[in-house]
Amino acid sequence: MTKLRSWGTTTTAAAVLTLTAGVLLAGPAAAESAPSPTVPSPATAFPAMAFPFALGQQVYSAGIHSDDGSDGVKNAIDFSPADRTVRAPLAGTVHLQHCSGGDWVTIDHAGGWRTGYYHMEAIQVTDGEQVEAGAPLGSTGNALPCGGSSTGAHVHFTLWTLPAAPATAAAPGDREAAPGDREAAPRDREANDREAAIGDWDNVSYARLTSTVAAAYGQPVDGKEIGGWQFTAGAEQYDGTATHLADRQLVQLPGRFRDTP
């Protein structure tokens, strides 16, 4: 089965070195017992939420991974529901995040939690729209609006917490430097980071979303309960398990399961 990686970087010498160093320096025990210094404490407990798709269908999950699939907090999990319809798992406010290659979707929920939906096609929601749990957001797909990669239709579902500040429009002039943030002057980068903190991720590149933003706001999928299943990250990227809390059914990830009502 093709692995459904998203945000995936192509293998580079630097990535290989980073992974190799991680394996050499940190065994599984260390990885499990030592809290990551890069994960901030969320302001509020993780809210009860449904899956980002309808109940009662077969789902493939490529597993739990970091936003770039190689390094950093494992704040993402890929889902491919059979009906391909992505739905809001919890009520909230939609942000359409615009990039040169198109849009992607985030939803801000009560308590400062944000969920993300990358790779979607045929987006059905609008910027600022208030959605209820179950509202259709779009279709699983291979869209790459800000960069990254995808090798099979899915949604890259991501968890973050944000500071308790409302999203606001960018100050005039800030937007100009955003698309080429690697080339932006330091003052512009600071302006961009302030925007990122308040939730406007328009034109935030894939590279910065998976590094700066993920390090500042990413929250691990490990231990979270979603749709009545508890997710546990494994030692490696894309590893892990899903446990159905009602009957203790255990699914190894990557893997298929049927989300029963």
Rounded CA-CA distance 21/23 in Å is 5
Burial of 150 (0-12, 13-18, 19+ CB in 10 A): buried
Closest CB to Zn ion among 6 and 210?
6
Determine the interface stretch with Zn ion among 12-20, 35-43, 70-78, 122-130 (rule: CB under 5 A). Answer: 70-78
Closest CB to Zn ion among 61 and 93?
61
Q: Is 6 in the site for Zn ion (CB under 5 A)?
A: yes
Q: Is 181 in the site for Zn ion (CB under 5 A)?
A: no
Residue by residue, DSSP assigns 182-202 as: TTS-HHHHHHHHHHHHTT--T
Closest CB to Zn ion among 38 and 151?
151
In the chain, the amino acid numbered 54 is A
Q: Residue 118 is encoded by which pair of tokens?
A: 């990358």
> Which residue matches tokens 């992505």?
86
Q: Restricting to residues 140-159, which ones interact with Zn ion according to CB under 5 A?
A: 156
95 part of the active site:
no
Among candidate residues 95, 154, 156, 244, the one labeled active-site is: 154
Look at the chain and count its residues.
261
Closest CB to Zn ion among 117 and 229?
117
Q: Please pick, from the candidates 78, 200, 202, 222, the single residue that binds Zn ion as defined by CB under 5 A.
A: 78
156 part of the active site:
no
Q: Is 71 in the site for Zn ion (CB under 5 A)?
A: no
CB 74 within 8 A of CB 221: yes
* Residue numbers at the binding site for Zn ion (CB under 5 A): 6, 76, 78, 156
